[in-house]
Amino acid sequence: MIRCMGLGKLQANFELCNSALKGNQKKAHREVQRYFKENAFDVPAKIRPIADCRCL
Protein backbone atom coordinates (compact mmCIF):
# COMPACT_ATOMS: atom_id res chain seq x y z
CA MET A 1 0.00 0.00 0.00
CA ILE A 2 1.20 3.50 -0.73
CA ARG A 3 -0.21 6.66 0.80
CA CYS A 4 0.05 9.89 -1.17
CA MET A 5 -0.76 13.35 0.12
CA GLY A 6 -4.08 14.41 -1.36
CA LEU A 7 -4.76 10.98 -2.84
CA GLY A 8 -5.34 8.83 0.22
CA LYS A 9 -4.18 5.23 0.27
CA LEU A 10 -3.56 3.35 -2.96
CA GLN A 11 -2.92 -0.32 -3.46
CA ALA A 12 0.65 -0.57 -4.67
CA ASN A 13 2.95 -3.40 -5.48
CA PHE A 14 6.45 -3.77 -4.07
CA GLU A 15 8.03 -2.49 -7.27
CA LEU A 16 6.13 0.79 -7.07
CA CYS A 17 7.12 1.36 -3.45
CA ASN A 18 10.69 0.38 -4.19
CA SER A 19 10.86 2.79 -7.14
CA ALA A 20 9.52 5.63 -5.02
CA LEU A 21 11.98 4.94 -2.21
CA LYS A 22 14.92 4.76 -4.60
CA GLY A 23 14.00 8.11 -6.08
CA ASN A 24 12.89 6.74 -9.45
CA GLN A 25 10.17 9.38 -9.51
CA LYS A 26 9.19 9.17 -13.17
CA LYS A 27 8.55 5.43 -12.96
CA ALA A 28 6.64 5.72 -9.70
CA HIS A 29 4.61 8.64 -11.06
CA ARG A 30 3.65 6.58 -14.12
CA GLU A 31 2.61 3.71 -11.85
CA VAL A 32 0.33 6.02 -9.86
CA GLN A 33 -1.24 7.31 -13.08
CA ARG A 34 -1.67 3.75 -14.36
CA TYR A 35 -3.36 2.78 -11.10
CA PHE A 36 -5.97 5.48 -11.62
CA LYS A 37 -6.50 4.53 -15.25
CA GLU A 38 -6.87 0.80 -14.56
CA ASN A 39 -9.30 1.42 -11.72
CA ALA A 40 -11.43 3.83 -13.77
CA PHE A 41 -10.79 6.79 -11.51
CA ASP A 42 -10.29 10.24 -12.93
CA VAL A 43 -6.60 11.02 -12.75
CA PRO A 44 -6.22 14.18 -10.66
CA ALA A 45 -5.13 17.12 -12.78
CA LYS A 46 -2.11 17.52 -10.55
CA ILE A 47 -0.59 14.49 -8.89
CA ARG A 48 1.71 15.75 -6.18
CA PRO A 49 5.38 14.79 -6.40
CA ILE A 50 5.97 11.18 -5.46
CA ALA A 51 8.06 12.51 -2.57
CA ASP A 52 4.70 13.16 -0.90
CA CYS A 53 4.03 9.42 -1.00
CA ARG A 54 4.92 6.92 1.71
CA CYS A 55 4.97 3.14 1.56
CA LEU A 56 2.77 1.42 4.12
Residue 6: strand, helix, or coil: coil
Nearest to 28 by CA among 37, 20, 38, 36: 20
Distance CA 26, CA 32 (A): 10
Confidence class of residue 37 from pLDDT cuts 50, 70 and 90? confident
Could you report the per-residue pLDDT of 1-14, keeping only the tens digit for each?
Answer: 666 666 666 665 55
Q: Treating both helix axes as pointing N-terminal to C-terminal, what angle do 14-21 and 25-38 enclose, rounded to 10 degrees?
A: 150
Residue-range definition of the domain harbouring residue 15? 2-55
Q: What is the mean pLDDT of residues 16-42?
A: 68
pLDDT at 54: 64
Number of structural domains found in the chain: 1
